[in-house]
Each structure stands twice: as structure tokens, then as C-alpha cells.
Amino acid sequence: MNAFQVKNTHYSLTTPLYYVNDLPHVGSAYTTIAADVIARYQRMQGKSVLFITGSDEHGQKIQRTAEALERTPQEHCDQVVAGFQVLWQLLGIHYDRFIRTTDPRHASIVQEFFQRVWDNGDIYLSQQQGWYCVSCEEFKEPRDLLEGHYCPIHTNRQAEWRDEENYFFRLSRYQEQLEDLYQKRPNFIQPEIRRNEVISFVSQGLQDFSISRINLDWGFPVPADPSHTLYVWFDALLGYVTALLEPDQAPTLENALAKWWPINLHLIGKDILRFHAVYWPAMLLSAGLPVPDQVFGHGFLTKDGQKMGKTLGNVLDPFDLVKRYGSDAVRYYFLKEIEFGRDGDFSETRFVNILNADLANDLGNLLNRTLKMVHKYCGSSIPVPVKTNLLSTNPLQDLGQQLGDRVAAAYQSLAFSEACEAALSLARMGNRYIDEQAPWTRYKQGQQQEVEEILYTVLESVRLAAYLLSPITPQISSAIYRQLGFSIDFNEQSSIYLLAPFPEHSRWGFLPFEQQLGEPQPVFQRLELPNSDRL
Ligand code: MSP
């Protein structure tokens, strides 16, 4: 196989490597759910997938948090990382690698990479003066700060004045090459609004940025001068490379980059776009390495229309949400309700209403009532449709025949909300169709063939909708498939590989005739609002 073929059959993607100062918040859950959906979709396409997530453990923010809790930084990180892994499990996240930047192999990768950049003459010592937000781990322009030097993202934290000697990375040298990259590869930064932001930022002129800190122990010593500690972002971005090593491979850049590089997709929130779309490609260019295919910056979540924050006391706890409503519900809400790439809101009332309308009623109920009718009118196996004159045109079939391609295109462009809408439109049409066709009346009139055709068509619509939603709602889709008589679990990697390639199951008419059906059972329990939220 040549390199192009390998690339075409392989797909690698990353979430950010999360800070472990605290347990994961809903923003980290949002990015990770979206990444998991992409990974599942790509696996269903028959690709070999490497889905990377992990933790960013160095730097002042973690060091200070650990000190305040009277733990060593490593103890603190170990505890919080365990919490992340629990949440990912609760949310049904099937990652392939969890990279921790305290992994000893990471030190070797960072050292080798630093050396390449150093040898290229892109690192020099100079004086750094400016306002530093420890929570962002970033120097801020005075014009970007709020009054009293408060950070616009962490509004309860003041940026700190720094005036110290640091090592700098010669970012300014890469201005032209970056502009060229953005022009030649319009998909490198997506969505468009983020691409424009970056292009405008870069066009104002790039300044070198400091990549070392003094008075900080928790991090890697700068290889050329161990009295300095490497800036946490320089080390963190390289975590994406260390993650590519096979468990037993020697930690060299050559090994790490051999199979999966360049990464197909870095999925991030819009606040860390500059690091991924400007600093990171420049660092890679300096080290003589190819840049990733795409950086996608999604929007920010608010709660009931307000920015979330500890001081506001309105932080949405993802553990609590998933424990109360289940993982499919949480996954579905965020991806269906918010257009991916834009900011979006969480409201518990809306959450409950959407899930009840879409999953409990439109999809779940349709399956339940149709299965009951099949058991009553046709026995316990899937009816064999015979095309009757009466039903010469079938709207479900017309919609179903083009749905697989439409939904695949939506997943491909990360338009999750569109994928959900399209799949749901088939279920909604199924409900209307069964009401109009009234198989219960036809049965009484002895129109057995028409009844069988109607019921087959509706069951096939539910199957197709369930399949197309399965990257987002794997548990519900598996339950639906089971009741339709398949022994396929969308959470089992091995069954997913059996399903590949995507076109097979996404084709209208795949439901096998006479397959033995399961017992009808609700696939999604209606949700109730907690008492205090009811009107
Ligand atoms: N450690 C860095 C990333 C290094 S990657 C090499 C970091 N970590 S983080 O824990 O702060 O990342 C948080 C992620 O969650 C980011 O993608 C960020 O955009 C996202 N969100 C944080 N708050 C958010 C919302 N309110 N809404 C949506 N996403 C948000 O940055």
C-alpha cells in the first residue's frame, strides 16, 4: 500500500488535551461527544480510526491548584484524570488513545521536536513583558482585558503582570507561509467564520511568542537551558504526536509520525483556535513536518442564555446530566439542538421537550406501535411486502432512498444537527403515513397485502432512521435493531466492522424479509422535568 492509500483508509482525530485542574465541565464533554460521533461514523465507513483524547497536565494553573489542595501536582493529576475517564465511559466515548502529557515518553518527543526547532534557528532568548492569565495560560493584549485587568474568559480572575526573560519562538518568520496555507487549503480552518477570524488576526502581523517560563517547576525543563521550564502550550500540542506511538514503540518522532500523521482533524472550541491554527502549524513548519488536514473550532455553550461560570453558580455538571438522563439523551441534545460551529444554549425544559418529542414519540413510539401491529396482524416476523396497486407511490420509500447519502454528507461536513433532522424526518413521515393508511381498518377489510406493505415500509423507516442516528445514539439504535431481530450492538467495535461499509445498511430496503422480530418494548423512556422546573 502506498502512503496515499494508507491515508485514505485511515482516519485520525483529536479532542483538545484537557486541563486537569478540575473535573471535566460540559464544554469538554461537548467537544468529546462530537469527536466520538465522528470516530463512530468513520468506523462505520470502514475506516481504520485513531481517536485521541487526553489530559494537559503541566503549567502554573495545575501547579497552583494542586498546592491549594495540598497535593503534589502528580497526585492531583492522577485523581482528576480518573474522573475524566469515568465521565467518558458514562457518555459512551470510545477513544483509542488517552494521552497524558506526564507520560514519560512524551518528554522524549518534546525534546526531539524542540531540538529541530532550535536547530532551525527559531528559538531565542529575550525579555517578556505583559499581562498573563494563568487560567488561560496565555499572555493577553491590554486591549483584550476587562477593567482592572480581569480576563474576558475567566471574568473572576485578574491577569498578572510579568516582566521576565523567556525563550521565544520566531512565529513572525512564518507569516507568509501561514497565509499561503490558509489560501491554498481553504478547509484547513473550519467553519468559515473561524477561518476569517484567523486570517484577519494573521494579517495584522504575527509576533513571536514566549515558550518558556521561569519560577515554575511543573513542566519540562527547556532542553537548551534547564533553568527555564517549557511553556505548557508548547508541550501540550506535542501531546497529539506522542499519542500516535504504539504502546511498545520507542518514543521517537519518526516512529510517532509513521502511520497516522498528518492528523485528519483537530476538534477544538473556538477559544483555543489561535493555538491550533496559527502557533501549531508554524511550529510544525519550523520542525519540517506536514501540518494537519483540518482544525475545526466549535462554538460555546451557555445555560439559559447566560455564560456559565462558578461565580454565577450556573455551571452545568455533565456527570449529573448523564446520570439523570442517560448518555444518548445528552449526546442527542447537544448535537441536534446546536448547529455545530455556532454558539448554543442549554435549557433543561428544552432538553426534556426535545428528547420526548424526537426520541420517545417520533422514533420510539412509532417502532412500538408498528411492532405491536405486526405481531397482531402478521405474526412475529417481518412481513414480505408485495407491491400493491393501491400503494403505487410510497412517500417513505421516496424519502428513504436518498436519505443515506444526505446523512453521510451531513456527517462528513460535521453538520450533526442536519443529520439528526434528516433521520427524524423519516420517522415523522412514518407516523403520518401510518395514520393516513390506517392498517387497522384495512386489516378489518381483509386487505392483508396492503397491511403487510404498509407495516414493512414503516419498520424499514424506523430501522434506517436508527442506523443513521447510531453514531449519536448508539444505545437507542441498538435497542431498535434488536427489536427488529438483528444481533448488532452499535457499541461493539466488532459489530460495527461487520456493518461497514456504511452504504449497505444506509440503503433503503435493507430490512430482511421474514426476520424474526423481538418483543416490543419502549426504547426511550419519556423524561420528566425535576419538580422545581415544572410550571
Ligand atoms: N489544555 C488546553 C488544550 C490543549 S490542546 C493541546 C485547554 N484545555 S481546556 O480544558 O480548557 O479545554 C477545554 C475545551 O472545552 C476547549 O475546547 C474549550 O473550547 C471547550 N470549552 C470550554 N468552555 C466551553 C463552553 N462553555 N462551551 C463549549 N466549549 C467550551 O484549553
Q: Where are the beta strands (DSSP E) in 170-218?
A: 189-190, 209-210, 212-213
- pLDDT tens-digit readout, 229-271: 999 999 999 999 999 999 999 999 999 999 999 999 999 999 9
196 torsion bin: left (phi>0), alpha (psi -120 to 50), beta (else): alpha
Q: Is 255 helix (H, G, I), strand (E, B) or coil?
A: helix
Q: Tell me which of 26, 28, 238 to substitute to probe ligand 1's pocket, judged by most ligand atoms within 8 Å of the beta carbon.
A: 28
314 torsion bin: left (phi>0), alpha (psi -120 to 50), beta (else): alpha
Q: Which residues of the chain are under the pLDDT cut of 50?
A: 1-4, 535
Q: Which residue, by CA, sits nearest to atom 16 of ligand 1?
A: 269
* Residue 391: predicted pLDDT: 60
* Residue 4: predicted pLDDT: 47
Contacts of 383 (CB under 8 A, 6+ apart): 374, 451, 452, 453, 455, 456, 513
* Residue 386: predicted pLDDT: 78
Give the Å distance between the CA of 24 and the centre of ligand 1: 10
* Residue 535: predicted pLDDT: 47
Query: Please, are residues 496 and 44 in contact by the beta-carbon 8 Å criterion?
Result: yes
* Residue 3: predicted pLDDT: 47
* Residue 309: predicted pLDDT: 73
CA dist 95 and 98 (Å) reads 7
The secondary element (H helix, E strand) that includes residue 138 is: strand 138-140
Q: Tell me which of 17, 19, 61 to substitute to probe ligand 1's pocket, judged by most ligand atoms within 8 Å of the beta carbon.
A: 19
Residue 182 Cβ inside 6 Å of ligand 1? The answer reads no
Residue 334 Cβ inside 6 Å of ligand 1? The answer reads no
Q: Is 110 helix (H, G, I), strand (E, B) or coil?
A: helix
* Residue 417: predicted pLDDT: 98
Tell me how crowded residue 250 is: count the other CB atoms within 10 A of its CB. Answer: 11
Residue 59 Cβ inside 6 Å of ligand 1? The answer reads no
Q: How far apart are the first and last CA of the chain?
A: 62
* Residue 262: predicted pLDDT: 97
CA dist 340 and 416 (Å) reads 7
Give the Å distance between the CA of 133 and the centre of ligand 1: 15
